Amino acid sequence: LEIEAQEQALEQLEKSTQEATRKAHDAEQKAKSALDALKANGFLMIQEKDQMLKYVEEEVDRVKGLFEQKEARLTSERDSAKQAAQQLAREQGELTQRLHQLQQELQQLPGALEAEKAKSQALETACSKAQSEAKDSAMHLTQVEDEMRELLSVMEQQKVASAAKVKQLATILQDMQAFGMH
């Protein structure tokens, strides 16, 4: 928009210059006509017209100089604006590319999230299974311990009973030896 405004201003200045040039040309024509009339009227009038013509030429030169300065300034501003527009276009391209990359990454996130959820669920399932197996093992261990205690108790009872029988046999054996010796 700024470039268009500068180009319009440049066109306006060119029109103004053309108009000033046309007016200067018209003034020059009038001055020539007046000079011709002065030649007829006399030398004094010619000098005045000559001075006037010089003044008009100086004004035209001054206006041309101003126009050239303004044209150079506007051209410089236009070139700067073009460079800024090109830089903005490059930055916009880079930002568009980055946006595209981010959109692709965003599209890939749900799949990655689902994969992570599946892994997490598999780990939870394995953990639950391991806990269940550990619980079953603990129950089995308790059962085995109870059976071992029961077995030890039975063995202890048998040991006591065996010791009593051995004692009884020893007593009987002593009694038999005592009878056999007498």
In the numeric block, the tokens 């205690």 are attached to 149
Listed in sequence order, the residues at least 6 apart from 67 whose beta carbon sits closer than 8 Å to its beta carbon are 13, 16, 17, 20
- Residue 77 corresponds to which tokens in the numbers above? 């501003």
| In contact, 78 and 6? CB cutoff 8 Å | yes
pLDDT of residue 25: 85
| In contact, 39 and 18? CB cutoff 8 Å | no
pLDDT along the chain (182 residues), means of 10: 74 82 84 74 65 88 89 88 90 94 89 89 93 93 93 94 92 84 59
The number of beta carbons lying within 10 Å of the beta carbon of residue 85 is 13
Listed in sequence order, the residues at least 6 apart from 49 whose beta carbon sits closer than 8 Å to its beta carbon are 31, 34, 35, 38
pLDDT of residue 178: 82
Provide the b/e sequence for 26-49 (b: ≥16 CB within 10 Å). Answer: ebeeebeebbeebeeeeeeebeeb
Q: How far is it, in rounded angstroms, from Cα 48 to Cα 119? A: 104
